Amino acid sequence: GKGRGKLSIVILPSQKIGPEGAAELGAGLNKNMDVTELHLPNNPIGYEGVKRLADALAAPWTKGGSKPGNKVLKVLGLKSCDIEPHCGDCQMCRFSPLFPISLLDVTSLRMLDLHSNNITDLPLQICEMPHLVGLDVRKNPLDNIPRDVFVTAREGHQTGWPVLKAYMKTEYQKGHNRS
């Protein structure tokens, strides 16, 4: 940042941050123009916490305003945050029980680290995120990404993402053409 002493990277490893804390962080960062990276490794945030964090970050600033409210967060690190499918019956997850889809509303993201979680299904629409250049989904039991695509994508953030993105784009378009 331009000013001295501005907080631009927030790293909170192993702080026992759960859904409640994640929601508060999101609300606090919704209008924060300084923090460009948020890393929350090894916190029991879970599906609910990620959804609440993303909802709060993306909440419009004004009634009828546009999403996302926060347009400056570029990097979100959610490595080892207990993210896994939700129940499928509750109000919170009924539209997307396998993945906290509101993460896709945080459109400013360039890097998303979901390494070492329990994600079984990656929403194909991630390929539509406008600024995303890196997605780390290593060490997740993904069912909807073929092994060969995944092995190539596993080589790391940036190197693997183009391969994964290309695959997801193709599949996403196929799905759209069917409807």
Determine, yes or no, domain membership for 2.
no
Note whether residue 149 is domain-resident.
yes
Domain enclosing residue 99, as ranges: 9-178
Query: Does 90 map to a domain?
Result: yes
| Span 68-98, pLDDT tens digits | 899 999 999 999 999 999 999 999 999 999 9
pLDDT one-digit tens code per residue, 119-151 = 999 999 999 999 999 999 889 999 998 888 877
Provide the CATH number for the domain around residue 83.
3.80.10
Q: How many domains does the chain have?
A: 1
Between vectors from CA 67 to CA 66 and to CA 68, what angle results, nearest 5°? 130
Strand partners, 111: 75, 134
Does residue 1 sit within a domain?
Answer: no
| Residue 86 domain flag | yes
The answer to the question of residue 46 being in a domain is: yes
The answer, yes or no, to whether residue 3 has pLDDT greater than 60, is no
In a domain, 3, yes or no: no
pTM of the predicted model as reported, rounded to 2 decimal places: 0.90
**Residue 115 maps to a domain:** yes
Compute the distance between CA of residue 100 and CA of residue 61 in angstroms, rounded to an integer: 22
CA 68 to chain centre: 13
Give the number of residues written for the chain.
179
